[in-house]
Amino acid sequence: GVGKTSIAKSIASALNRKYFRFSVGGMSDVAEIKGHRRTYVGAMPGKLIQCLKKTEACNPVVVIDEVDKMAHKSIHGDPQSALLEVLDPEQNSAFLDHYLDVPVDLSKVLFICTGNSIPREFSSALLDRMEVIEVSGYMAHEKLEIAKRYLMPKARTDTGVTEEQTKIDEEAINTLIRAYCRESGVRNLQKQIEKIYRKAAFKIVESLPSKKEVVEVDSKSLADFVGKPIYTSDRLYNTTPPGVVMGLSWTSAGGAPLYLEITNRFRGFNNIQGSLMATGSLGKVLNESASIAYSYARVYTMQHFESKISPLVESTLHLHCPQGAVPKDGPSAGIAIVTGLLSLVLQQPVRQATAMTGEVSLKGKVLRVGGIKEKILGARRAGVTCVVMPEENRCDWDELDDVLREGIQVHFVSHYTQ
């Protein structure tokens, strides 16, 4: 819902070329791309030859949609490997379709592949033939403009109501974006706006012919049209106690704060080493990151606060990430876990309205992470005023819009001791 297909259509329009789109989501048969041999009953050419036939052009813009959901290997072959010949500029000048059995020149075709992510099983050879462009999600003010300029006029046309009959104020749209539609794109926002106009149209028709009703929607009456808010608050704690720290996570719906709670479960018996257990639907990488952070926290405490190290070496500590039904993974919570452990040991709360993201190594190095724009968006929604991030991410911060950076103080660190 961030406009990948719309961008492809705009490229075709700007270049004055024909546009063709086909989806490879769930495709497991190589013949869909390479065509069937004519010896089979019902044989037909592959999608690329069909594209050239339909567009009647040798240089169309071809969008290969949902390329990340294509099957990797099956009894019918490997479609990802079949795409290598299509996308490789050194080979596609003589693309061989099994049905035609003659070379076809695809070198003039502009291929645009779209997907929601790059899965681990995705072919590295195929990825090497592509130039990856990440399309990030929209900010709140961008969604507001899209809603006012495009989504609302389209919904009015579809439902048959006029601008004078239905009035939605700007604050209602902002509430809709903030409390109902936090995904990266605007697809869910479009559904909610269409729902408002459908209910408004029903009220207008219901009032006829006795009177001509004007439906006004503001932030107070919004719940009557779209239901109760889905998202209420991003702040799990107004004031974080010792052992609680706010990290930043990246999700498919954008960034969000990730609270980490650490408590002293019980003190071990004689000759029993301290340990750390983790809960909250944590993935393998995040569990490894927690183990590294625990090891570094013990070393750091021994070097700087030796008299207070007993909870780390004699007790079982419990690390928990709330919202246990939501899977969480990745290394970017490393420095947050270390900070949470030190906060518990020293019984000092972390500075309020502060969030941090960054991978930590066993020697305390703070390493680069991804998704900075989405994480900053999540931090702004949670009211964060100070963010700690790796020094290597300074270039990502500099690329952000001034609107996004305003009001947030950032500390760049290359080592945890900073």
Catalytic residues: 332, 375
Q: Cα–chain-centroid distance for residue 37?
A: 41
CA-nearest of 4, 21, 5 to 109 is 21
> Which strand (E) or helix (H) includes residue 118?
none
CA distances from residue 270 to 264, 274, 275, 298, 409 in whole angstroms, order as listed: 17, 11, 14, 19, 46
> Which strand (E) or helix (H) includes residue 294?
helix 284-304
End-to-end CA distance of the chain: 40
List of E strands, 210-305:
215-217, 244-251, 254-267, 275-279
- Whether residue 159 contacts residue 205, with contact meaning beta carbons closer than 8 Å, is answered with no
CA-nearest of 322, 305, 162, 316 to 237 is 322
Tell me which residue has tokens 């100070």: 386
Cα separation, 387 vs 286, whole angstroms: 20
- How many C-beta atoms surround the C-beta of residue 272 within 10 A? 12
What would the DSSP string read from start to end of 195-222?
A: HHHHHHHHHHHHHTTT----EEE-TTTT
CA distances from residue 279 to 312, 321, 323, 326, 344 in whole angstroms, order as listed: 18, 7, 10, 11, 17
Amino acid identity, position 116:
N
